Homo-oligomer: A and B are copies of this chain.
Amino acid sequence: MFYTYRMGTIEKPTHSSTASDTAQQALVHEMLERIADKWTLLVIEELAQAAAELRFTQLSQRIPGVSQKMLTKTLRQLERDGLVTRRVHPVIPPHVDYTLTPRGESLGEAVCGIWLWAEKHGKQVLRSRHAYDNRTRMQPPASSRASYTS
């Protein structure tokens, strides 16, 4: 479990390098934000699924609803982190191919745990939500008599 890791390696004061620890933590959170943002995971999926180079337009077609601004931005981030490669063919009109790097593929696999969790617990979560909503929706002011301690 990651808390064990966190407690053992990051929060224990016995460990010397404090700066890199917070950096690690920040990076974890950053990567979570990345894959959670609207498009990153979809791009990775498409590239992994294609298992081949895809052009900018091909990607935009396979990812419904993405604007080129967001697609560009997403791809730049992925490229910057070394998760995709960007090959520009110097021709006119331009021709740009994107591929997943091994590191990018490994990230896709790492997300699998959450995917499986959602697959396994999805229905229960939805049931909990309905129950919660029913419980709270028709909740009257709830004359909950509190016992004063004074």
Binding site for B on A (CB under 8 A): 1-3, 5-7, 23-24, 27-29, 31-33, 35-37, 41, 45, 48-49, 79-82, 90-94, 103, 106-119, 121-122, 124-129, 132-133, 144-150
Compute how far the CA of A119 lies from the CA of B149 in the bound complex, rounded to whole angstroms: 49
Contact B144 A3 (CB under 8 A): no
Alpha-carbon separation in the docked complex, A118 to B148 (Å): 50
Tell me, in angstroms, the Cα distance from A82 to B131 when the chains sit together. 10
Measured CB to CB, the closest approach of chain B to A94, in angstroms, equals: 8
A129 to B36, CA, bound (A): 20
Chain B residues whose C-beta falls within 8 Å of the C-beta of A45 in the assembled complex: 2-3, 6
